[in-house]
Amino acid sequence: MEILDNTQKKIIMNKILLKRKMKGAGVLAFIGCVALLVSCSDWDEFKKYTKDGEIVYPGKFDSVAIFPGKERVRVWGTLTADPKIKTAKIFWDNNKDSAEFEIDGGGTGYIFDEIVDIGEGVKSFVLHTYDANGNKSVGASAIGVSYGDRYRNTLSNRRIKSIAYDDAATTIIWDIIDVKLGPEAMEVHYETPNGDTIVRTPANAATTVLPKLDYANDGFLWKTIYRPLAGNNGLVPIDTFSTPFTTRDVPVFVEKELDRSNFKEAFYTGDTFGNGGAGGIDAMWDGQAQNSYGGANFTDIGTGGSSPQMITFDLGMNVDVTQIKIYPFLEWWGSYYVFSTIRDYEIYGASNPSSNGALDESWTLLASGTFAKPSGQAKDQESDADKDLAKAGFVVNVDPDAPKVKYIRIRCLKNYEAHWNNASQGFFSIAEIKVSGMLPQ
């Protein structure tokens, strides 16, 4: 093998470097030619589009909002101030559909606000402006939704839970409704002496009052109005949807037990209080009469004192009351007709009682009498008939000629403690109470 000296090595290295420089220069020359050809081609192409002048872009949409509607949308946007703008076009469904609008682009700015009819569904929109020569702006994109039959078919008319018919005003008590579908209002149509009457109530209301409905001769119609909920963008739909009308005919009244979930305590001056931990007035309709003074289900009204003592509660509606049933408390030693059980009573009713609590002409005496012990036996001696009557509840039949009432006032004239001891204690207890009245069938 030949050994190269230093001089030979330098010569070989210089040749290699020279070849590399020549090769690099060739590559650069090649790239330069290609670039020149491409540049010439782009320039020729550019000249075709600018032979009549420079490229012109009209002012574009700065912002766009698409408000949902019923088989349509509201397109709202702001435009750059540009007097050259003459029209705007909106494209959707991959440019298969479009709408065009004339625009006055002068001034310091322009608000675009137009309605576009489109089919139901979520749509992608592209908006362009155009000048008189057909030059178009850079596109602005937005997403919007239109509602139609698919949404409409999910809606139903709000159900009625109950109706309180009254000569002065009839009250509809509405059932719950699904808020996710966007209920906005209930609209009730009926006849009055003044002609056709429409009452519109917000969907978040629990009741609707119909003044002067002649319910003995006329029914009513109602529908529910919906507006789809705003999306995450907060844009409220521009249109509402209505269900078909439902008809409520002239009612047929039958005797029914009133819904106790509508009962409420109504305290007036002169009424007595519940006895501490033994339970309040609302324990009379909690359905849990327990044989325990410490329970919250025993209503021991007052703490003693002279007769009479009384309480008042609200039925939740004006109604022809037909019957009141009072269930006595079973004492711990097994007797009903003792201690705080009511013996002699008066029961009053009112639709609009005096605010001062007076037992005046605003109250009507519905019934009075004595819850007698059938056997007539002595204290703590109770027959099967005595116990059966107490378990079934003491029945009070109301005067059929009495007016409709909303409030009931129970007045204990004498309890059984006073009866057995010839005393005057008026405190009393009621384990449970039920009220029946004439309600629509």
Amino acid at 438: M
Q: So what's the pLDDT on residue 290? A: 56
pLDDT, one tens digit per residue, over 424-441 is: 767 888 889 999 999 888
Query: Which residue has 């209301």 as its token pair?
Result: 205
**Per-residue pLDDT at 22 exceeds 50:** no
* Residue 73 domain-assigned (yes or no): yes
More confident residue, 244 or 356: 244
| The pLDDT value given to residue 306 | 57
Mean pLDDT confidence for 299-304? 62
247 and 324 together in one domain: no
User: Which of 43-47, 251-255, 429-433 is predicted with the least confidence, judged by mean pLDDT?
Assistant: 43-47
Q: Which is higher by pLDDT, 373 or 13?
A: 373
Using the 3D structure, point to which of 186, 218, 251 is the last residue of a domain: 251
Whether 130 and 98 have beta carbons less than 8 Å apart is answered as no
**Mean pLDDT: which of 6-15, 19-28, 246-255, 265-274 is highest?**
246-255
Instruction: Give me the chain's average pLDDT, please.
Output: 84
Tell me, what's the pLDDT at 106?
52
The single-letter DSSP state of residue 287 is S
Mention every residue, 6+ apart, whose C-beta is less than 8 A from residue 304. Answer: 425, 427
Q: Which residue has the higher pLDDT, 34 or 193?
A: 193
Helices (H) and strands (E) in the chain, counts: 4, 25
> For residues 185 and 200, what is the distance between their CA atoms, to the nearest angstrom?
7
- Whether 421 has a pLDDT exceeding 50, the answer reads yes
pLDDT at position 104 is 74
Are 412 and 268 members of one domain?
yes
Amino acid occupying residue 424? S
pLDDT higher than 70, residue 294: no
Strand, coil or helix: 181: helix
Query: What tokens were used for 354?
Result: 């005096």
State the Cα angle at 58 between 53 and 62, rounded to 5°.
Answer: 155
Domain match, 309 and 427 both: yes
Same domain membership, residue 268 and residue 364:
yes
pLDDT given for residue 108 in this prediction: 56
Q: What are phi and psi of 117, to 5 degrees?
A: -80, 125
Q: Is the pLDDT of residue 4 over 70?
A: no
Q: Does the structure show a pLDDT above 60 at 31?
A: no
Inform me whether the pLDDT recorded for 117 exceeds 90: yes
Tens of pLDDT, residue by residue over 203-221, are 999 999 999 999 989 999 9
Could you identify the residue written with the tokens 């507006």? 227
314: nearest Cα among 280, 368, 265, 381: 265
d(CA 28, CA 383): 123
* CATH code for the domain in which residue 243 is found: 2.60.40.10
What is the domain-level CATH number for residue 427? 2.60.120.260
Domain membership flag for residue 297: yes
Q: Are residues 350 and 371 in the same domain?
A: yes
Higher model confidence: residue 277 or residue 19? Answer: 277
Mean pLDDT of the 360-370 span? 95
**CB-based burial of residue 391 (10 Å sphere; 0-12 exposed, 13-18 middle, 19+ buried)?**
exposed
Q: What is the mean pLDDT of residues 100-112?
A: 76
DSSP structure string for 27-84: HHHHHHHHHHHHHHHHHHHHHHHHTTSS---PPPEEEEEEEEEESEEEEEEEE---TT
Domain-embedded: residue 268: yes
**Of 103, 123, 146, which residue constitutes the final position of a domain?**
146
Residues linked to residue 286 through DSSP beta bridges, in sequence order: none
179 found inside a domain: yes
pLDDT mean over 378-382: 94
> For residue 426, what are the domain limits?
260-440
For residue range 162-180, list pLDDT tens digits in order: 888 888 899 999 999 999 9
Q: For residue 25, what pLDDT is reported?
A: 43
pTM: 0.65
The answer to whether residue 285 sits within a structural domain is yes
pLDDT for position 212:
93
Residue 2 has a pLDDT of: 40
- Note whether 158 and 82 are within 8 A (CB): no
The pLDDT value given to residue 49:
42
Query: Taking Cα atoms as reference points, which of 202, 58, 34, 190 lies closest to residue 131?
Result: 58
Q: 266-297 in b/e burial notation, b at 16+ Cβ within 10 A?
A: bebeebbebbeebbbbebbbbeebbeebeebb
Q: How many domains, the chain?
A: 3
Confidence of residue 289 (pLDDT cuts 50, 70, 90): low
Q: What is the pLDDT confidence band of residue 357, given thresholds at 50, 70 and 90?
A: confident
> What's the rounded Cα separation, in Å, for the pair 93 and 125?
8
Answer with the residue of higher pLDDT: 16 or 249. 249
